[in-house]
Structure 1
Amino acid sequence: MYTLKIRRVRNSLGVILPKEALHKLRVRQRENVFITETPSDTQTACNSDFAKAMEAYRKVSTKYRNALNELAQ
């Protein structure tokens, strides 16, 4: 577990990741990191396949909302 401090970056807020966390997440400068909430905890993903899957989900989520809700049950 890492403790991250929220800092002001111009008109936004940001965090600085320690080298150990960057190495563990296998991320480099300018890569995207996705943070998702689950009922039990918060998870991170920095995988390009994850980004593609989320983009595909966004495209169909509103059109097939009822079907996705049924599948979730």
Structure 2
Amino acid sequence: NAVKVAIVNEKAMMDKYPGWKPYGGSKSKTSDEITDRDRRKHETKEERRLRRNIRAQMAIENSRKEELGL
């Protein structure tokens, strides 16, 4: 259960791998997810309520589609 730590020469890595960025973090989050999260910070209560209602409506429609398909 040892943790391995690497000391990285950032300039050498950038030269060798042009797409590499130091402290890049997780690749699972796209820029769309990040901007969406930032936008939600400034939403009003009404906007959050509308977003919830839309998600609920989509869930209802999906469950109806599954019932018809089964």
Structure 2 length-normalised TM: 0.35
Higher relative contact order (CA 8 A, sep 6+): 1
User: Comparing both structures, which one devotes a greater share of its residues to strand?
Assistant: 1
User: Comparing both structures, which one devotes a greater share of its residues to helix?
Assistant: 2
Q: Which has the larger radius of gyration?
A: 2
